[in-house]
Amino acid sequence: MSHDGITVNGLVREFKGGIRAVDGIELQVQPGEIYGFLGPNGAGKSTTVHVLTTLLPPTAGSATVAGFDVATQGPEVRRRIGAALQEAALDNFLTGREHFELQGGLHGLSKADRAARAVELLERVGLTDAADRKVGGYSGGMKRRLDLALALVHRPSILFLDEPTTGLDPQSRSALWGEVARLAKDDGVTVFLTTQYLEEADVLADRVGIIDHGRIVAEGSPQALKEQIGRSSVEAIPSNPDDRAAIEAVLSQFGEPAAASPKGVAVRLAGGSESLGQVVRALDGEGLQIAHLQLHAPSLDDVFLAKTGRSLEGEDEGDESRPPREEAA
Amino acid sequence: MDVETLREIGIIANRSVRRTLRQPALIVPTIVFPLLLLAINASGLDVTKNIPNFPADSYLDFALVVTFMQGGLFAATTAGTELATDIETGFLNRLQLTPLRAPAILVGQLAGAMCVAFLASLVYLAVGLLAGAHIAAGVGGAALLVVLAMLVALAFGGLGSIIGARTGSAEAVQGMFPLLFVFFFLSSMNLPRNLIEADWFRTIASWNPISYLVEGLRSLVITGWDGTALWRCLVTAIAISVLGFLGASSSLRTRMART
């Protein structure tokens, strides 16, 4: 599939009262890439998606999607994108198949094409059996899957997914991840995915942009970002609590102290994860009994912590489920 | 209006009609409440026909069209509520992400309200005839009554849509209902204007456009083909419809900030 990706230059979106939800974002998403936009609630993720999908005009800066300017070529952009926004807004009184009729019809698909796409996409997201049931009776996971399928009805080259797995059970989340990965790999669809889940960004995204207070604070592949932060840490929990000091002395030979659980001792390994074997041999050499030994690889949360001084996990700064109403300053 | 816009209107109208018909909670009160009021008024106020110069032989004939007006009001609430619900749930964003033109959303939504008004009108007419009402303008007049009732629904629907689009709140639209009901009672709904004794009431009723809607519809039941009453009714309904549509379009454009 041939198309341009997404290019964003100095994008700003202000709301009434001077609230700057998006504050000078720069980013580039290559065609066929899955770009994870990671950040806590209120960071500016959804507002960015609303601007890139033409639902909100930018206050300043520019952005092109599929080669078209979001501010001046809205209809051209909309023809080429699919979007599953955070609300999974569906009509509870229509069936799944009727949603395809509606959405396909509005995208100008012929009746035969609409019917064929409905069959194909409902099958793909595992909703064939529920196709003729009213959506009001669907579970949250079914609604999310239908929402994703509807975003694909007109064969978009770029897909925006705004927190697509929020509130889903692990099984539904995993199924949705599989489908998103397949879309990028097999169909060459560019995916711009916002999430507040570290694991989701880590598993799905080719590259991740970490956003906080409307600004991108880090960007790169998940692996590269974690490598920027540094080395793995090892944590040992002694079998005998009296051995704690001895274990601390042994571990200190391998790196500086790191955060550990209340019963454990941890160090950040100066030699990286490769030195784990030496750690085990040293502990064994001193005759120390270890109840639990764990290697912690750096996570995207460590990246967030390093860049912002705060942890992403458990972060809740307010609901960004919907950007404020169009009230540009 | 081009073919593409008409096609889009058809798609939105189809959705609006389907979802309206699938909500008994919207349809049943629209039909039952006006008929209940008609039953109470026709039995309790029938003595009114003895007032000198009262224009009808029975209060049932006189009051029958009030059900059509109230049905139109319910339909208006439906139109506004449905639009507000689409805003609240984010469904409007789904529509905005398609090439759909804004006026098609509004016209399509109003089609659902007119569908309810059509169905309700048929029921009001049937119940009225079964109860002994007589349509002076005959079968053609009865058909025109239904058409005018749909036009009234369109007029009120535009007003409901303004509030729906502006507030994005179904509750706010429903809050409009009592306000419009006050306008109903300050019209010639319950008594002909020339028989209203209180000057202030008669003056308000004469300025109240709802009086002209009621009198146009009523003329088909109690008078026959009264050109003046029908002309005034038609002009009033079209004027409210146009103003309502323009206002709702403007509010929806503000709401839909897409580029």
Residues A260 and A144 in one domain: no
Summarised one tens digit per residue, pLDDT across range A63-105 is 999 999 999 999 999 999 999 998 778 999 999 999 999 999 9
Main-chain dihedrals φ then ψ at residue A265, nearest 5 degrees: -130, 135
**Average pLDDT value for chain B:** 91
- What is the pLDDT at residue A321? 45
Domain membership flag for residue A240: yes
Q: What distance in Å separates residue A213's CA from the closest CA in chain B?
A: 23
Report how many Cβ contacts below 8 Å link chain A to chain B.
79
- What is the pLDDT at residue A318? 44
| Integer Cα distance of A37 and A219 in angstroms | 9
Residues A114 and A249 in one domain: no
Residues A14 and A153 in one domain: yes
Q: Which residue of A has its CA nearest to B9?
A: A106
Locate tokens 């007029």: which residue?
Answer: B155
Question: Does B15 sit within 8 Å of A55, measured CB to CB?
Answer: no
Question: Does A325 sit within 8 Å of B93, measured CB to CB?
Answer: no
- What is the pLDDT at residue A262? 82
- What is the pLDDT at residue A317? 44
Over range B232-238, report the average pLDDT: 96
Summarised one tens digit per residue, pLDDT across range B165-222 is 999 999 999 888 788 889 999 999 989 999 998 999 999 999 999 999 999 999 999 9
Tokens of A250: 């042994």
Domain membership flag for residue A323: no
pLDDT at A309 over 60: yes
Task: Give the amino acid at A160.
Answer: F
- What is the pLDDT at residue A259? 74
Collapsing DSSP to helix, strand or coil, A256 comes out as strand
Residues A103 and A241 in one domain: no
Locate tokens 């639009």: which residue?
Answer: B83
- Checking ipTM against 0.90, whether it exceeds it is no
| Integer Cα distance of A64 and A21 in angstroms | 19
- What is the pLDDT at residue A175? 85
Q: What is the CATH number of the domain that holds A31?
A: 3.40.50.300
Domain count, chain B: 1
Residues A114 and A254 in one domain: no
Say if A184 is an interface residue toward chain B (CB within 8 Å). no
Optimal mutation site among B8, B78, B94, interface A, most CBs of chain A within 10 A: B94
* pLDDT band at A323; cut points 50, 70, 90: low
Residues A207 and A240 in one domain: no
Q: Which domain holds residue B50?
A: 3-255
For residue A173, what are the CA distances in angstroms to A74, B63, B202? Answer: 31, 59, 66
pLDDT at A326 over 50: no
Q: Where does a domain end: A206, A226, A246?
A: A226
Residues A144 and A265 in one domain: no
B7 and B99 Cβ atoms separated by less than 8 Å = no
* pLDDT band at A3; cut points 50, 70, 90: low
Q: What distance in Å separates residue B4's CA from the closest CA in chain A?
A: 9
Say if A71 is an interface residue toward chain B (CB within 8 Å). yes
Say if A106 is an interface residue toward chain B (CB within 8 Å). yes
Nearest CB to A53; choose among B14, B22, B97: B97
- What is the pLDDT at residue B225? 95
- What is the pLDDT at residue A314? 58
Higher pLDDT, B99 or A49: A49
Say if A133 is an interface residue toward chain B (CB within 8 Å). no
Q: What distance in Å separates residue B17's CA from the closest CA in chain A?
A: 11
| Integer Cα distance of A314 and A295 in angstroms | 22
Question: Does B100 sit within 8 Å of A134, measured CB to CB?
Answer: no
Nearest CB to B99; choose among A72, A102, A106: A106
Q: What distance in Å separates residue B171's CA from the closest CA in chain A?
A: 18
Question: Does B96 sit within 8 Å of A94, measured CB to CB?
Answer: no
Residues A116 and A46 in one domain: yes
Instruction: Name every chain A residue with its beta carbon within 8 A of the beta carbon of B255.
Output: 325-326
Summarised one tens digit per residue, pLDDT across range A125-134 is 899 999 999 9
Side by side, the strands of the sheet bearing A207-212 are A81-84, A158-162, A190-195, A34-38, A207-212, A215-220
* pLDDT band at A39; cut points 50, 70, 90: confident
* pLDDT band at A193; cut points 50, 70, 90: very high
Residues A164 and A146 in one domain: yes
How many residues make up chain B in this entry?
Answer: 259
Question: Does B93 sit within 8 Å of A87, measured CB to CB?
Answer: yes
Q: What distance in Å separates residue B193's CA from the closest CA in chain A?
A: 44
Residues A166 and A244 in one domain: no
Domain count, chain A: 2
Q: Describe the crossing of helices B102-130 and B59-89 by its angle, rounded to 10 degrees.
A: 150
pLDDT at A119 over 70: yes
Domain membership flag for residue A104: yes
**Average pLDDT value for chain A:** 88
Domain membership flag for residue A213: yes
Domain membership flag for residue A1: no
Optimal mutation site among A11, A77, A85, A91, interface B, most CBs of chain B within 10 A: A91
Task: Give the amino acid at B141.
Answer: G
Summarised one tens digit per residue, pLDDT across range A251-303 is 999 988 877 778 889 888 888 778 889 999 999 999 999 999 988 887 787 78
Q: Which residues contact A281 (CB under 8 A, 6 or more apart)?
A: none
B156 and B240 Cβ atoms separated by less than 8 Å = yes
For residue A247, what are the CA distances in angstroms to A269, A291, B82, B128, B222? Answer: 15, 12, 67, 93, 102
Residues A160 and A111 in one domain: yes
Cα-based torsion angle of the residue sequence B70, B25, B247, B143 in order, rounded to the nearest 10 degrees: -50
Q: Which residue of A has its CA nearest to B168?
A: A325
- What is the pLDDT at residue A315? 56
Q: Which domain holds residue A92?
A: 6-226
pLDDT at A1 over 60: no
Main-chain dihedrals φ then ψ at residue B61, nearest 5 degrees: -60, -45
| Integer Cα distance of B84 and B81 in angstroms | 5
Q: Which residue of A has its CA nearest to B12?
A: A102
Q: What distance in Å separates residue B252's CA from the closest CA in chain A?
A: 12
Q: What distance in Å separates residue B202's CA from the closest CA in chain A?
A: 44
* pLDDT band at B132; cut points 50, 70, 90: very high
Domain membership flag for residue A42: yes
Domain membership flag for residue A148: yes
Say if A136 is an interface residue toward chain B (CB within 8 Å). no
A200 and A177 Cβ atoms separated by less than 8 Å = yes
